Amino acid sequence: MKYVAMIYGNQAKWDSFPAEEWPKAIAKQEAFNKKYRESGELLGAYGLADAANAQLVRREDGVPAVTDGPYLETKEYIASFYLLDCDSLERAQAIAADMPFADVEPVELWPVLHESAADV
């Protein structure tokens, strides 16, 4: 079963993180990514740009209408997401709990209900 694990953030949180700690934090994250890529359970890890870079795309009269985003008016936004492929929900929960900083920030875990193959 596939799962999406999401981490939320906001610019104030990132700005408050000491600059000298970033290399250590990145190294911890890369070690996590490597561990679960090698097990075959991490299919992808994606860090998203700041919410100021998000856009909303709609279709109006058959043409794209693009505005600045994000859609939700919130201070928190999805900062990164991970696509997992696990044998069980319990395994996905264990991997989410093993993420760096899961002891201070929750990881949101969603089962993937439907998948459309990209290679068809």
> Which CATH number characterizes residue 56's domain?
3.30.70.1060
Range list of H helices, the chain: 11-16, 22-38, 89-98
The answer as to whether 118 is a domain residue is no
The answer as to whether 117 is a domain residue is no
Structure token pair of residue 29: 């994250």
Structure token pair of residue 10: 């906001």
Residue 114 DSSP symbol: -
pLDDT one-digit tens code per residue, 9-19: 877 777 888 98
User: What are the residues whose beta carbons fall under 8 Å from the beta carbon of 54, sequence distance 6 or more?
Assistant: 68, 69, 70, 77
In the chain, the number of structural domains is 1
Using the predicted structure, report yes or no on whether residue 106 has a pLDDT greater than 80. yes
The percent of residues in the chain predicted with pLDDT above 70, rounded, is 93
Domain around 21: 2-111
| pTM as predicted | 0.81
